[in-house]
Structure 1
Amino acid sequence: MIIISSSETARRRTVGRFCRAAALLAGLVATGVAAPGGTATAAGPERPRAAASQTRAGTQRLPVKAIEKILQADGQVSKSGVLEVDIDRKDLHVIGGNPPVRFKDGFQLQHELFFQSLGRGKAILNGDLTLRPQEIQPVIDAFIAHGLTFQAQHQHLYDMRPMVWFVHFRAIGDPIRLAGAARAVIGKTSTPLPQHSPPHPRTPLPVRKLERVLGGDATVGENGIVTVTVRRTDKIRLGGVVVDPDLGVSTNIQFQPLGRGRAAVIPDFSMTASETQPVISVMRRHRWEVGCLYNQETDEHPQLYFSHMYRVGDPVELARQIREGLDRTAAKRA
C-alpha cells in the first residue's frame, strides 16, 4: 500500500491542471483560436475571422467584373456600393439647346444602368436608354420578353436634332441575369460595343470648385465632360425596396466644355411634387430653358419628378444658380 502525503497530492493536482491547460492551449493554437484574454498568433484567428467577415460582406457586393463583361462596358462603383455603367451612343450625332451645341460623346446621350445589391444574391437594376424613334417599340418588346418593367418614355430637350427618346426600366433579381437581360435589350439598338472608359480623362473645367459649389461628387469622362451627382437625403422606395440615392434617383449635372471658359450645362433635377414649382421658379429667374418635366419611375414613393434644363456660360456661375435650385429640394447641402 502506497501512502501519498497531502502536500504531494496538492503538487500532483497543480501539475495536472497545468498539463490540461497546456493541452487546451495547444489545441486552440492548432485550430487557429486564441486563448481567452490572449492575442492571436500568426496561425491565430486574424485571417479566418477576416475571411468570414469578407464572406458575409461578399453577399452584399455586386459581381462587378462579370456585369461589365456581359455589358461590354466599364462601370464605376460609388462610395455607397452602387455600380453605374454608362454606355455612350457614339453612333448619334445630335445638336441641341439654345444657343445650339453639338453634343459630344458622353454628354446626355448614353444608356445609364445602376445596380444595387440587395443581399442574398439579389440586386435591383434601375436604368434608362437613349433611343432613335425606330428603336423604341423593339426595345419595349424586349423589356417585356426579358421580364423588365417598362417605366417611362420621354424627351429631355425639345429642340434636339435629330430628336432622341429616353426610356426607363427596372427589375429585381440575380445581378448576372439582370445584366444579361439589359444587354439583350441594348442589342435591339445600334449602340457600338464594346466600350472602354478613357484611362486618364482630363478636362479644362474646375472640377473641385464645381464639387464644392454644388455639394456633390464629380467624375470626368470622355471629351472633358464633368458629371456632378448631388444625392437626395430622403428615403426613396422603388418597387417596395429602399433604394440608395445613387441608384439614378438623385440630381446630376453635366458640363460640356466649349472653350474660352464656357460650358454647356444640363442639370437633371430630382424633385418631389412640392419641390417642382420652387425649383423651376428659381431656374427661370436665372433664364434657364426648361426642357421637360416627367416621372422616370413607376411604383416610387415618394413619387419623383425630373426636369432637364439648359444654359451656356461660365460653369462656376451656372453651378451657383443650380445650387439655388437644389436648395429648394431635399438634396445634400453644399
Structure 2
Amino acid sequence: MIIISSSETTRRRALGRFCGAAALLAGLVATGVAAPAGTATAAAPDPTGPRAATSQTRTENGRLPVKAIEKILQADGHVSKSGVLEVDIDRTDIHVIGGNPPVRFKDGFQIQHELFFQSLGHGKAILNGDLALRPQEIQPVIDSFIAHGLTFQAQHQHLYDLRPMVWFLHFRAIGNPLRLAGAARAAIAKTSTPLPQHSPPHPTTPLPVRKLERILGGDATVGENGIVTVTVQRTDRIRLGGVVVDPDLGVSTSIQFQPLRKGRAAVVPDFSMTAKETQPVITVMRRHRWEVGCLYNQETDEHPQLYFSHMYRVGDPVTLARQIREGLDRTAAKRA
C-alpha cells in the first residue's frame, strides 16, 4: 500500500493542470482552431521554448502574447504605442477595382481582415475585428463565429461600387488571447485567404508620411505597395461589451493613402462618429466632393454607439488630408 501525502497530491494535481494547458496551447498553435467555449485556457509555456513562455503567454501588466498570436494567425502584426496589437491580413486573392474615378486597389489597400487585441490583464484580452469576404463565404464564417464563441456584430459593404463587391463581417470576444486568435483563425479558414503572410521588412512610399501625420494629427504606418495608414484616435471614453477599450481597438478614424502616378493618391478615410457628429462630417466632406460610402454600425453593445463611413477621393494627398482634417474637427478625434 502506497500512501501519498497531501502536499504530494497537490503537486500532482498542479502538474496535471499544467500538462493539460500546455497540450491545449500546442493544439491551438498547431491547428489554429480555438478550444470550445468554456474550455479552460490558462497560460502555458510556448512550445518554442520555456524562456519565451514567461513573456509571450501572459497578459499581465498589459503584455500580450504577440509572437504566439502571430504564429496562430500566420501573419505579422503591429503593436501601437498604447500596446494594442493589430494584425492585418490581405485578401490577395481578391482583385478589386472601385471608386470614382476607378482605381485598381493594390494589396494592403482596404480589402483586408483587421484584428485588434487589447490586454485586459490576468490572462484575458478583448478582440475586435472584421473580415473581408466574398458573398459565398459569409454564411460559413457566421457559423464559425457561433461555433467558436465569437460575437457577430455587423455585416455590410464599406464602399458601394467595388467590382467585385466585398462584404465585411465584424466580430468581438473576450477571453484568453490565444484562444481568441485560434477562433479568428478558424473563421479565416472558411475563406480562400492565402496564408502565411509577412510584412515587407523595409517598406517605402513616395508619399509625404510625416506631413500627413502632422496635418491629420495621428500615427502613420507604411505598408506594402507604399500604402500609408494614419490612425487618429478618439478622445472620448468608449465601452464595448462592458469593457473600456483603447482608442486603437478599431474604434477610431483610420485613413489610407494608395500612391498613384504623378504624385496623386487614392484616399479612403473611415470616419468614426457619434450620432451627433455624423451629419456635420458628411456635410463637410460632400462640400469637398468626396464620394460618401456606406454608413453603418460595426459594433454591438457599444457606448456611446459609433457610426462609421468610408469615403473616397483621388487627388493631391496633402490637399485631401487637409479636407479630412476638417471632417475630423467635427468629431471627438485627437487634435492635430
Shorter-normalised TM range: 0.7 to 0.9
Quick one: which of 275, 295, 300 aligns to 2:297?
295
Q: CA RMSD in A?
A: 1.4
Residue number in structure 1 paired with 2:171: 169
Q: In 1, distance between residues paired with 2:251 and 2:63?
A: 20
Q: In 1, distance between residues paired with 2:137 and 2:89?
A: 16
Quick one: which of 132, 135, 138 aligns to 1:136?
138
Q: In 2, distance between residues paired with 1:293 and 1:178?
A: 28
Q: Deviations over 1:239-295 (max 9, x none)?
A: 000000000000000000002110000000000000000000000000000011000
Quick one: which of 104, 122, 125 aligns to 2:124?
122
Amino acid at match of 2:305: Q
Residue number in structure 2 paired with 1:68: 70
TM-score, structure 1 normalization: 0.83
Indicate the SS of the match to 1:310: strand
Amino acid at match of 1:280: I
Quick one: which of 208, 220, 223 aligns to 1:221?
223
Give 5+ residue unaligned stretches, structure 1: 1-54
Residue number in structure 2 paired with 1:254: 256
Residue number in structure 2 paired with 1:239: 241
TM-score, structure 2 normalization: 0.82
Residue number in structure 2 paired with 1:316: 318
In the alignment, is residue 281 of structure 1 matched against residue 283 of structure 2?
A: yes
Indicate the SS of the match to 1:199: coil
Whether the 8 Å CA contact 1:67–1:175 is kept in 2: the answer is yes
Residue number in structure 2 paired with 1:330: 332
Quick one: which of 142, 152, 157 aligns to 1:150?
152
Amino acid at match of 1:232: R
Q: In 2, distance between residues paired with 1:212 and 1:242?
A: 28
C-alpha displacement at 1:60, in angstroms?
2.1
Amino acid at match of 2:216: L
Amino acid at match of 2:184: A
Query: How high is the sequence identity, in percent, across the aligned residues?
Result: 90
Q: In 2, distance between residues paired with 1:59 and 1:313?
A: 44
Q: In 2, distance between residues paired with 1:57 and 1:272?
A: 31
Q: Deviations over 1:283-324 (max 9, x none)?
A: 000000001100000000000000000000000000000000
C-alpha displacement at 1:56, in angstroms?
10
Indicate the SS of the match to 1:267: strand
Larger radius of gyration: 1
Residue number in structure 2 paired with 1:187: 189
Q: In 2, distance between residues paired with 1:236 and 1:305?
A: 13
Amino acid at match of 2:129: G
Whether the 8 Å CA contact 1:59–1:121 is kept in 2: the answer is no
Residue number in structure 1 paired with 2:210: 208
Q: In 1, distance between residues paired with 2:218 and 2:289?
A: 23
Q: In 1, distance between residues paired with 2:236 and 2:205?
A: 32
Name the CA shift for 1:56/1:193 in 2 (closer, same or farther; >3 Å). Answer: closer
Q: In 2, distance between residues paired with 1:265 and 1:160?
A: 15
Indicate the SS of the match to 1:292: strand
Amino acid at match of 1:253: I
C-alpha displacement at 1:58, in angstroms?
4.0
Amino acid at match of 1:214: L
Name the CA shift for 1:56/1:247 in 2 (closer, same or farther; >3 Å). Answer: closer
In the alignment, is residue 95 of structure 1 matched against residue 78 of structure 2?
A: no
Indicate the SS of the match to 1:141: helix
C-alpha displacement at 1:57, in angstroms?
8.2
Indicate the SS of the match to 1:322: helix
